[in-house]
Structure 1
Amino acid sequence: MQQKLRVLLADDDPVFLRLLPTQLANENFEISTATTGGSVLDVLEKREFDVVILDVDLPDISGIEVLKTIRTLESAPEVIMLTADTSLETGLTAMRAGAYDYITKPADSDQVKELIRKASDKTRIVKQNQRLKVAAATRYPGVQPIFESEISKRIFAEAERVAGMDATILITGESGTGKDVLANWIHSKSGRAELPIVSVNCGAIPENLVESEFFGFEKGAFTGAGKQKVGLIEAADASTLFLDEIGEMPLSLQVKLLMFLENGKFRKVGSVRDQTADVRVIAATNKDLKAGISDGSFRADLYYRLNIIMFELPPLHERPEDLEALSNGFLERFKSKYGRPELEFSNAAKRQIREYNWPGNVRELKNAVERTVALASGDKIERIHGIFESGVISGAVPTESKPELVSLAWLEKDHILKVLEEVNGNREAAASILGITSRTLYRKLKEYRA
C-alpha cells in the first residue's frame, strides 16, 4: 500500500484552510494545518512532513523567516510558498531563501497537487540517496543458493511463498548453515527487491553505539556528533532489514526494536520527533532464544513478534545431497577466482568431504574448498586442506586426540582450534570465519584453558 504524502498547510485564512484540504480530499495526501509561523515550527519539531505549504503573510512571523528556519532543520521538508503578491519579487525572494516553488493566490488545486507531488519526489530522492549510502556500506554480496536435498527444497519453496508478505521472519540454525543466504534470497524474491537489503550483525556493534547505529542521531546529540547520521532502520525504509545474531542484541535495544515493530515509528538519538519507516525485518540466530527468555537475556514479547514465520536450517551433515552440490559449486567458483580451470576433486577428496562432520557447516566447507584450491599443486585435488588435522595453536590450547564418540562441545572446540591454526592464531580472522564475535571467541578459549 502506497504511503500517504504528509503535507502541512500553514495559512491564517480559515476559509482557505477548509477549502484546499477539501479540494485535495481524493488525493493520497495526509493534510495537517497551522495558522501561525510559531505553530508551524512547533509541529515540525514533533512530526515529520514531506511538504509544507506556507503563506508568506502569517500573523506572528514572516513566512520567509519561517522558511529560513525550516531550511536549517535536519531532514527538512520541501516548502511551497503561498503569496497574494502577483509581482515576481516576492516569489524570487522565497526561492532565494530555499523554497521549492511558489504559488500566487488564489491557488489552483491542480497546480497545488502537481507541485506537492514534485516537491515530495525531491524529498524522497534526497532521503533515498542518504539511505542507499548506508545500505551500500552493509551490502551483502549476493550468492545464489545451492541445494539438492529435499529438506532444502522444501525450505526454499516455503520461503518463496512467503517472500511477498511483509511478515517478520526468524531464521534459526547452527553457525554457518546459510541463514544469511536464505535471508537475502527471500529479499530478492520480495516486492522490496529494487532496494538493497540492509544487513547488520547485532553482536558486532559495541553496546554504547548500538542505539545510534540502529536509529541514527541528530547533529549535536552528543560529543562528536558533528552532523546528522542516518540509522540502519531509516536506511532500510521500503526495503528489508536483516538482523543477524539477533540473540546478541542488548536488552535496552530489544525494547526499542519491539516498539518499532509494533508501530513503525522510531526516534533518532537527540531528537524529540518521531519518524516512520516501512521496513520488513528478517532476523537470524544460532542461539536458543527460548533459553534466552528463561535466563532473562532475551525478551519474550520480542521473540513472539519476530517469530511470525520461522525457518530452521539443519546442519550440513544432515544434508548430504547439499554437501556434494555445495562442494562442487564452491570448486567451480574458486577455480575461476584462482585461474585453475582444470582442477577437480579426486575420489579420495570426495570421500574426505563425505565423511567429515563439518561442524562449521557451509562456511567451513566454503573456506576449506577455497584454501584447497589456492594451495593445489596439480590439476587433481587429493586432499582437502584444513580438516582431519590436529596440532598446537600458538597462544591457544593444544587439540586433543579424538575419542570414538564425541559431544557437540568437543566438536565445537576441535573446530575452533583448527580454524585458529589455519589463520596462524589470528583471533579476529578466526572469529570472522566462525561467524561469532571476538568477545565470544575469547570467552571460549578461556574456558578451554580452564
Structure 2
Amino acid sequence: MKIISNPPLRRWERLAQRPALRQEKLMRTVEKIFSEIRKRGDKAVLKYSTKFDYPSQTAFPIEKETVEKASEALSERLKQAIELAKHNIEIFHLSQREEIRKVETTQGVVCWRESRPIERVGIYIPGGSAPLFSTVLMLAIPAKIAGCSEIILCTPPNIYGEIHPAILYTANLVGVNRIFAVGGIQAIGAMTFGTESIPKVDKIFGPGNQYVMAAKKIATLYGTAIDMPAGPSEVLVVADETCNPSFVASDLLSQAEHGPDSQVILLSNNKKVVKDIDAKLNEQLLALPRKEIAEEALKNSRAIVFDSLEECMYFSNLYAPEHLILAVENPHLLARKVVNAGSVFLGNYSCESAGDYASGTNHTLPTSGYAKAYSGVSLDSFIKKITFQQLSEEGLLQIGPAIEVMAETEQLYAHKNAVTLRLGEIMSKRLIDNNNETNI
C-alpha cells in the first residue's frame, strides 16, 4: 500500500476519491443495452448474456427441480452456517418493525402512519468468481418479513450455464419466488422493463460492479426504484497502537479480494503501526487464492498517517466509507465522531466479515461516498410508509381558517374552496341545531 504522511487539507478531497471508469462511457453503454431490452425483450437480454456469461444460453428461468437439488451439493456444515446467519438476520430485522402510533395534532385532527410492503422486488446477486449467496439472506429475509408478495432473483450463470448451488439453496430456504440466470446490465434492464420471461419489478436491490451500479441509476429514470447506489466494496480502518496489525491486515484484504475495483483505506496516528500492518498485509497476501485480484485493488488503496485520531475521523467522514472499522483503544468514544458510514465495527474483535455474514446487520450498504446521504438496506427498504389522517367537524373548525388563508396566498382557490364549503356546511348544521334547541 502507498503510505502518505500528514497530507495538507487541500489534498484530502483528492485522497478520498474512488477509482472509477468514465461515467459518460458507462452511461452510454447502459442506455444502449436498455434501449435494446425495451424494444426486443428476451432476445436482447439473451444477446448480452451469451456474450458476457454463458455462450450457449437459450433460456433464463431456473427450474424448481434444479433449485431443490442444490441442497445435495452443499455440506451439512455450510447449511448449518447459513441457518445460523439466517436466524441472526431475522432477529435483527424483526426488531425494526414499528407499531402504529396515532397522534392528535390538534383537537379533532388525528394523524398516523402505516407500513405497506412493496409488492414485487427484484434482488441482484453477483456471481462469477465470488458467488455472494450471503447477499440472498441479506435481501430476501427483510423482503419476506416486510410482506413483499413476490421476490425475483437474478444472478449471472457461469460459462457452463450453472448457478452456484449455495445461491440456489439459500434462495429456496428464504422464500425467493423465481430465479433467473442473468446478470450485469442486462439483468437490471430486464427487471426495469420486464420481458417475456422476466417480470418488471417495483424496486431493485443488490450490489454489483460499476456497470451494475450505473444500470441501477438509469433504472430510476424509467420508474423503477433502487435500494441505493451500491458499487465496488470498500473499507476504511482507523487504527492506533492498541490494534492487532494482523487483524487489521486481514480486514483490509477481506475487502480487497472482492474485486480489482475495490478500495481499502488505512488511517492511523502512528507511522510504526501503519508499517507493521503493511508488513502483515504483504505476508497474508501471498497466501490468498485471490491474490491477483487483491493486488489490483491495493493499487487503488492507501494508508494515511495523521497527527491525531480526531483528524483520522475528519477524513473518514469526508470519505464516508461503506465499512468503517475502529481498531482503537476506546472505540465507543471515537464512534461518537462518526457522521458518515454505512456500517461501523468497534474494537479488535469486530471483524468486517461478521457483518458480511452472520452478526445480523445488513451488508448491503452505500459505497462511493453515498453514505453521506444513504443508509444500508433495512426492513424499511422493502416497505412504503403511508400517512393517514382523519378530521372531525371540530378538527376542521380548528385548522380550516389557517388552510384558507394559506391557500389564498398561494392563489390556489380550489384548495381554499374545499375547506370553505365544509366549514359552511358545519356552521349551517350548528345554526340549525341551535335554533331547534331555542325553539324547544
Q: TM-score, normalised by structure 2?
A: 0.25
Larger Rg: 1
